Structure 1
Amino acid sequence: CPYPVSAGSLPDHMARSKRFPAQIAEAAMLEYTAQALNPLFTLYAKSSLREELHRAGNTAALDLLAHRLDTEPWSVYEVRRVLTPGRSDHCKLWHGLRCALCLKLAENAAVLPSEWARCKDCQTIRGHRCQRRDPLCSDSERKGTIWRSVRRVGTLTRRQACGSLERFASRPGRELEHTASGVPGYAFGFDRLVTVQRGGSFPAVERQFVAAPAAVPSKARGGFETAWRSAAGLAAAAAAAGERSAEGLLTGV
C-alpha cells in the first residue's frame, strides 16, 4: 500500500511525500472530498493526511492542495443516510442456516428447523438473511446496514458553492456548521448544514448539505428511496416540511 498507516512507517512515508508533492497532493484532494461528505473518512485513524503533511513540514504538497481547492470546480451535495437496526441475539439464535446435526435433531423432534435453536457452529454459517418479519429480530440499539444517497447540485466555483450553502443556512432554525482547518494558514475547513439529525436508536435517518469539490457523481444504492421512506416515516416528513429543494440553493428562490 502506498499509504502505510502504522506509526513506524509514517516517517518514511512523509519523507517520500516530499519527493512526490504532486502525487501526495492528489491523495490529499481525494481525502478532503471524502471527508467533506463524511467527517470520519480520514486516511489515518487519528489524523488526516493534511495534518501529517503539516507536521512533516511539507508545504509544497499543502500549497498544491490549496491551489487545487481554490481553482477546481466545486458543487453543493445533498447527502442522506439510512441506518437500519442490527440483528438481535434472538434472531441470531433462532433464524439462519443450520448444520446437519441440528437439522437431524429438529427432524427427530418433529419440529420445523426454524423452531430449533441454532448451535454455535450453526451461528457461524453465512449466506442466510432473515426477513425480519418478527419484531424480536431487530435490535434498535445495534447499527445494521447503512444506505447512502449522494446528490450533486450544479458545478460552481468554491466561492459560489460556499456562498450558496451559506444562503441556504440563513433561514430561521438552520445553522451552518464549520469544521476548522486543522492546518494553520490554510483554508482546509468544511462547511455543512444538517437538516435531519440522526436519532439515538435505529432505524435512523440523517440529511445534510455540504460544499466540496465536484468530483463525486450523484449516486444511491438501489432501493434507497424505499428504505428512506420506510425508516423516516412521519418524523422525516415533519423535519422535511418547509425544506427547499436542493435546486433552490443555486437560484436563491
Structure 2
Amino acid sequence: MTRTASEALPVVLSFGMGVDSAAVAARWFTEPASRDFPLDRLTVLTAMTGDEPDITRQLVEQHLLPLMRDNGVRFVQLSRTSQRGGYTVLDDSRSPRRLITRGPWRLSDELRASGTVPQIAAKRRLCSLHAKGDVLDGWLGDEFRGAPFRHVLGFASEEIRRAERDEGFTAIGRIPEYPLIDGWGWDRHRCEQYLLDRFGEPWTRSACGYCPFSAGRRGRAELVERWRAEPAIGAQALALEYTAMALNPRSKLYGTVAAQDLARTHGLADVLAAFEEHLRRQRWSVYEVRRIIHPRRQNPTAKGAAWRSVRTVFSGSRTDATATLAAIAAGRAATDRYGISRAEIIPRTSGFPAIEMALALAPAGVADKERPAFAAWWDRLHHQADLVPPVALAA
C-alpha cells in the first residue's frame, strides 16, 4: 500500500493511558504537523482492567478529555464483559466527559477467584493480553471487519523488541505503526518531559497497583509513592498476594520480593493498616491444595508443567476456620512471617511426575477448580507412591 493510500485510512490509537500513549495523543491533539491525518479520522481506543489507579482517571479527565472534546476526537472505552470473554462498550463519544474505569468485569475479581497473582511468561504481560488485548481485538474485528486501518501503538524508542513482537501479530486489515520509534525517536524520558512541559504535572504509569512489572529498578519508587498516595490499591495488592501465597508459597507478587515486604521496608503504615482491616472483614476458608508436577517433555528429569487442584474444605469466621485447620491438620499447621497458616499433608515426592498436598487458610472466595484429567492422574500417582494422607478430609 502506498503512503498516500495509507494516509486516507482510518486511524486507531491504542491508548493504555500511560506515559507513552498519552504523549502520542497529546502531541497529535495540539500539534497538527505531528500527524498526517485529520483528527476526525482518529479513534482513541482503550480497555479497562477495572483496577486503574485514581490518579490515572484524574490525569486523563483533566488534560486529555478536554482536548478530545475540543477536536471532536472519537474516544471508545471498553471492558471485558466476563471471565468467559466478550467486550462491553462503556462509552463511545466525540465529546467524552469522564473516564469510566469500572465495567462489568475486573481483573482483580478473576485473580481473587483463581487464587493467583498476574502471571508472567517470558516477560509477556499475560494479564494485559487477557484484560486488554482480547477486548481490543474483538472490537477492532467488529468495527472494521477486515477492512484496512492504521493501528498506532505507543511503544517508546527503547521498546523495539515489543514492537517487533507486535508486528508478528497478523490481523486482517491491520497496519501497525509505532511513531515514538519510527518517526519521533522518543524514549520514555522524552515522553515524560513532553507531558510535564505541556500539562505542568508529571504523568504516572497507568498500571494496576498489583502489576508485577511495576516493582523493577525503574518503577519501584513510583509504585511506592502511588501506594502511599492511594493506600487502598496497595492493600489490594497485598490481599491478592496473601491468598496466592497461601495456596502457593512461591507466589510472591514481585518474584523474590513480597508485596508485604515492600510495604514494610518503605514504612507504608496506611497500606498495611488497610490490608489488615480488609482481612478482618473477610469470611475465611480452609482449602485443600494438591499439585501434580509433570516432567519436562524434552527432559524427563526436569520440572515441567504443574497442575493444581483447589477444593474448599470449610468456610466460616476466621476464628472457626483457624480452629478447623488446626483440628484437621493434627498439629501440622504452621504460620509463616506473612501471617499465612498452612499445613503440609503430603510433602512433594521425589522425581517426576511428583505430587504434593497441603491445607491452607485464606479469605473465602477462591473457586474450586481442577482440570478434568487431574483426579485420574492423582489416583494413579498417589497409589504408585504408596502414600496415605495422614489426615482425614471432609468430602
The answer to whether residue 230 in structure 2 is matched with residue 37 in structure 1 is no
**Partner Cα distance (1:7, 1:163) in 2:** 42
Match of residue 23, structure 1, among 199, 208, 233: 233
Kept in 1: contact 2:292–2:355 (CA 8 A): yes
**Partner Cα distance (1:234, 1:178) in 2:** 31
The answer to whether residue 357 in structure 2 is matched with residue 217 in structure 1 is no
Number of matched pairs = 185
Structure-2-length-normalised TM-score: 0.45
Query: How far did residue 46 of structure 1 move?
Result: 2.0
Q: Which residue of 1 aligns with 2:388?
A: 239
1:167 partner letter = A
The answer to whether residue 332 in structure 2 is matched with residue 175 in structure 1 is yes
Structure showing greater relative contact order (alpha-carbon pairs closer than 8 Å, 6 or more residues apart): 1
Q: Which residue of 2 aligns with 1:150?
A: 310
**Partner Cα distance (2:327, 2:314) in 1:** 15
> Judging changes above 3 Å, is the alpha-carbon distance between structure 1 residues 165 and 154 closer, same or farther for their aligned structure 2 residues?
closer
Query: How far did residue 51 of structure 1 move?
Result: 1.2
Structure 1: 5+ residue runs without aligned partners? 90-138, 182-188, 248-253
Query: How far did residue 176 of structure 1 move?
Result: 1.9
1:177-196, aligned counterparts within 5 Å? 177-181=334-338, 189-196=339-346
**Partner Cα distance (2:384, 2:352) in 1:** 15
Kept in 2: contact 1:195–1:239 (CA 8 A): no
**Partner Cα distance (1:48, 1:82) in 2:** 25
1:84-233, aligned counterparts within 5 Å? 84-88=294-298, 139=300, 141-170=301-330, 175-181=332-338, 189-233=339-383
**Partner Cα distance (1:86, 1:9) in 2:** 34
Structure 2: 5+ residue runs without aligned partners? 1-206
Query: How far did residue 29 of structure 1 move?
Result: 0.7
Query: How far did residue 230 of structure 1 move?
Result: 2.4
Partner secondary structure for residue 302 of structure 2? strand
Post-superposition CA distance 1:172-222 (Å, at most 9, x none): xx52232123xxxxxxx1111111111221111101111111121111112
Kept in 2: contact 1:71–1:157 (CA 8 A): no
Task: Give me the identity figure in percent.
Answer: 31
**Partner Cα distance (2:345, 2:323) in 1:** 17
Q: Which residue of 2 aligns with 1:52?
A: 262
**CA RMSD of superposed structures (Å):** 1.7
**Partner Cα distance (1:5, 1:196) in 2:** 34
Kept in 1: contact 2:309–2:374 (CA 8 A): yes
**Partner Cα distance (1:48, 1:36) in 2:** 13
- Stretches of 4+ moved more than 4 A in 1? none
Kept in 2: contact 1:17–1:24 (CA 8 A): yes
> Judging changes above 3 Å, is the alpha-carbon distance between structure 1 residues 175 and 155 closer, same or farther for their aligned structure 2 residues?
closer
Query: How far did residue 231 of structure 1 move?
Result: 2.2
Kept in 2: contact 1:78–1:246 (CA 8 A): no
Post-superposition CA distance 1:22-50 (Å, at most 9, x none): 12211211111111100111111222111
**Partner Cα distance (1:209, 1:12) in 2:** 36
2:306 partner letter = I
Partner secondary structure for residue 67 of structure 1? helix
